[in-house]
Structure 1
Amino acid sequence: MVFPVVVMMGQRLFRLGLLFVTITLLWFGCWVSPGLALTEEQKLFNEAWRIVNRAYVDSTFHHQDWSAVRQKALQHPLKNREETYLAIQQMLASLNDPFTRLLRPDQYRSLQTSTSGELTGVGLQIASDAKTGELVVIAPIAGSPAEQAGIGPADRILKIDGMPTANLTLDEAAERMRGMIGSQVTLTLLRRTGEQVEVRLTRNRIALNPVTTELHTEAGNLPIGYIRLSQFNGNATIELARAIKTLEKQGAQAYILDLRNNPGGLLQAGIEIARFWVDEGTIVYTVNRQGIQDSFEATGQALTQAPLVVLVNQGTASASEILAGALQDSGRAKLVGEKTFGKGLIQSLFELSDGSGLAVTVAKYETPNHRDINQMGIMPDQVVSLEPIAREQIGTAEDRQYQAAVEVLTHQMVLAGAT
């Protein structure tokens, strides 16, 4: 008789519990849910927060409570899209990573274009100095108004049309330098020499064919294939393969690959181009937020085994450093010139629902010998400084770094012949 009573009491208590939960849900549903519903602007902010939460390379998010960052931001109403963008920018700024940034719709489209087609502007690749926050030139694009005006790596951009760059993000600065063909922009620069100058540039269409080639025979009649690669865009892989094959047919017995002032671009293009030169071994390691390493290997299908020297300088960055590091660590090439820029971080692009986007640092890379070159750069095998020279002097007798590369190749060929 006791057991049935206990069961019935248990059922009764269980039903009462359900009734209480149901009433509670109905009560709070009426009053709490409207307060928790996100507006369209908050949804966009939340979308950006989730992308960073899922993909960002540093799981500590610069030693802060990333959930608390979101909660604090959503406590304030976002009245319009501009306020939402500012809130996203403030959130990303807390990471202290200039490469993780918001790209407004026009900026997102421009960045996609710069890696695959053409653009209009002055032709500068820029970065934010990690120590000072100043806007620094990585490199001018070959043939651009910036290069023709003599702007070079490590020049500091203080103002754009009188606007101090200290008040601008990277993308805001880039946007101010872009514009219609024929329009003008004035840059206030601090040269590497310490001289402050104003340079007025006329915007133009920037050609993005990244490969130029010549067959040189001035080194004791040694046929040298000179290849200058200015950017790792969507055309770089096929154009460089075509260049090697053409120079081979012309009789090239050695190569100089010029990566000076090449600011990088597509990671995959850097890997594929390394495979043109390296038969076997690791090209690059990538390390994600969990510390898990992935690697990209050579495929055993190098296009040439001819001796190779790579020219580098302060404007050699990102994918260029991946390629230079792979060639140096594998012993496939000697590096000549100056220490490289030192950007060892990898970004991915994510499109947001309104057409804007995020560039997010998702991993860092290491060379085949596990060198982390971020903010340190790659030291060449032979350091050769070079004062600024005219564009038409690149790869000529007036180019000291090029001449040093020729001497290295000549020495290698003499040793090979003696052997």
Structure 2
Amino acid sequence: MTKRFFQVGLLLIVSVVLVLNSWVSAAHAFTEEQKLLSEVWRIVDRAYIDDTFNHQNWWFVRQKALQQNLQNREQTYTAIQKMLASLEDPFTRLLKPDQYRSLQTNTSGELTGVGLQITQDPETGELRVIAPIDHSPADEAGIQPRDRILKINGVSTFEFSLDEAAERMRGPIGSQVTLTIAHDDEAPQDVLLVRNRITLNPVYAELRPQAEGGRVGYIRLTQFNANAAQEVAHAISHLEDEGATAYVLDLRNNPGGLLQAGIEIARLWLDEGTVVYTVNREGIQDSFVANGQALTDDPLVVLVNQGTASASEILAGALQDNDRAQLVGERTFGKGLIQSLFNLSDGSGLAVTIAKYETPDHHDINRQGIMPDIVIPTEPISREQMGTAIDSQYQAALAVLTHPTVVALEKDER
């Protein structure tokens, strides 16, 4: 009997060894296309925020994808995109080499196109505008935050991924693209745009007289790119030298950008306190804090609207929760997920949602946004009219600075 058990056990061991050997051999026998697909799978497996992977067996997803006959790189990209689509997260996505280069340019310098920051509803697949870039063709055509983009050159946007849609809107200076836009409940309209160079100069600053003798430093920040923190710091220092006694920071239609830029700009206004918490899939929190000296302690009001998103919401939430500023305007967009970019071996990139943001008071930003302390609806005004006498939100901000009021909303109601 003992001998028989020994023989059965030996057979089991041999079987396991054979299985392992065959698996190792298969791994070594991977084609270049299969290796790239596996590379993407491993990154998502280790970093993705949802450890249920949208309630599916992520290993089986890999195995099914590897069974495909991948003959070229385009077929591999398609297989990767299909694998990632099963997560139902439009922000976790493959960036082909040209798309990856464009994204890197978008956060550091300038690009050519129509000047729209866009997002895709994860439930409906609908393409929406976060905000137009200041003085871009889209901005000058009157396209607004939360407008729906139904078609690009007559092709339904439901057929495109987020990056494919962005790529179709980019192009050489002087070329044209037609977007079918739906604003609120109005009938869709075709908007013809001529692509142009989009200069990413994120800061506009001006010293303005105040009704009761003070001087207001007005700073409009349109994007959090690599230069934003340095430019805002320069603007504050210059306005301080000119005698500013209070500030209005305008984050309306600012779609966000680099997380680190948002954190650094918050530190320009805060001596101490938490700027933002991040929470990963294990529930482990990390925090970024201010622990230096603010450039000014003058009164501050921050303007926000439905186009205020991502890093803008982090900055607004940090200033609000630390009682450094009052927020005026409308509830913000509600994009509170963190993506990290990974370089892939073939020059493409992978954006993966790795965590979510929480404000210092632990309010979840994603899909909820931030409620301002004083709600003033947005009126249809042009970009040039923002920050002027016709701008009711800006005028409300000035009123707060001139006549400080008791904030009606308690923090737990936001």
- Asked whether the two chains share a fold, i.e. TM above 0.5, the reply is yes
In structure 2, relative to structure 1, the CA distance for the partners of 1:24 and 1:94 (3 Å cut) is: closer
SS in 1 for 2:122: coil
Q: Describe how 1:2-401 pairs up with structure 2 within 5 A.
A: 33=25, 37-401=29-393
Deviations 1:306-358 (A, max 9, x none): 00000000000000000000011111000000100001100010011111111
Distance in structure 2 (CA, Å) of the matches to 1:190 and 1:94: 28
CA RMSD of aligned residues (A): 2.4
In structure 2, relative to structure 1, the CA distance for the partners of 1:40 and 1:408 (3 Å cut) is: same
Q: How many residues align?
A: 400
Displacement after TM superposition at 1:46 (Å): 0.2
Q: 1:6 — aligned with what?
A: none
Distance in structure 1 (CA, Å) of the matches to 2:163 and 2:229: 27
Q: Which range moved further: 74-83 or 267-276?
A: 74-83
Distance in structure 1 (CA, Å) of the matches to 2:190 and 2:208: 38
Amino acid at match of 2:300: L
Distance in structure 1 (CA, Å) of the matches to 2:226 and 2:44: 26
SS in 1 for 2:38: helix
Displacement after TM superposition at 1:299 (Å): 1.4
Distance in structure 1 (CA, Å) of the matches to 2:359 and 2:225: 21
Distance in structure 1 (CA, Å) of the matches to 2:15 and 2:232: 70
Displacement after TM superposition at 1:33 (Å): 3.2
Distance in structure 2 (CA, Å) of the matches to 1:364 and 1:281: 19
Displacement after TM superposition at 1:279 (Å): 1.1
SS in 1 for 2:275: strand
Displacement after TM superposition at 1:131 (Å): 3.6
SS in 2 for 1:412: coil
Amino acid at match of 2:140: Q
Displacement after TM superposition at 1:219 (Å): 2.6
Distance in structure 2 (CA, Å) of the matches to 1:352 and 1:312: 37
Amino acid at match of 1:145: P
Displacement after TM superposition at 1:105 (Å): 0.5
Distance in structure 2 (CA, Å) of the matches to 1:87 and 1:23: 32
Displacement after TM superposition at 1:195 (Å): 2.8
Deviations 1:85-117 (A, max 9, x none): 111111111111111111010000000010011
Displacement after TM superposition at 1:79 (Å): 1.2
Q: Which range moved further: 77-86 or 118-127?
A: 77-86
Displacement after TM superposition at 1:300 (Å): 2.8
Q: Which range moved further: 190-199 or 26-35?
A: 26-35
In structure 2, relative to structure 1, the CA distance for the partners of 1:28 and 1:362 (3 Å cut) is: closer
Distance in structure 1 (CA, Å) of the matches to 2:19 and 2:176: 63
Distance in structure 1 (CA, Å) of the matches to 2:112 and 2:339: 23
> Do 2:304 and 2:331's aligned partners in 1 also have CA atoms closer than 8 Å?
yes
> Do 2:219 and 2:247's aligned partners in 1 also have CA atoms closer than 8 Å?
yes
Which structure would you say has the larger Rg? 1
Q: Which range moved further: 244-253 or 31-40?
A: 31-40
Distance in structure 1 (CA, Å) of the matches to 2:304 and 2:70: 47
> Do 2:305 and 2:378's aligned partners in 1 also have CA atoms closer than 8 Å?
no
Percent of aligned positions with the same letter in both sequences?
71
Amino acid at match of 2:243: G
Displacement after TM superposition at 1:280 (Å): 1.1
TM-score (norm 1): 0.91
* Structure 1: 5+ residue stretches without partners: 1-13, 414-419
Deviations 1:268-323 (A, max 9, x none): 11001001111111110000111000111111311100000000000000000000
In structure 2, relative to structure 1, the CA distance for the partners of 1:35 and 1:283 (3 Å cut) is: closer
In structure 2, relative to structure 1, the CA distance for the partners of 1:78 and 1:409 (3 Å cut) is: same
Displacement after TM superposition at 1:222 (Å): 2.2
Amino acid at match of 1:42: Q
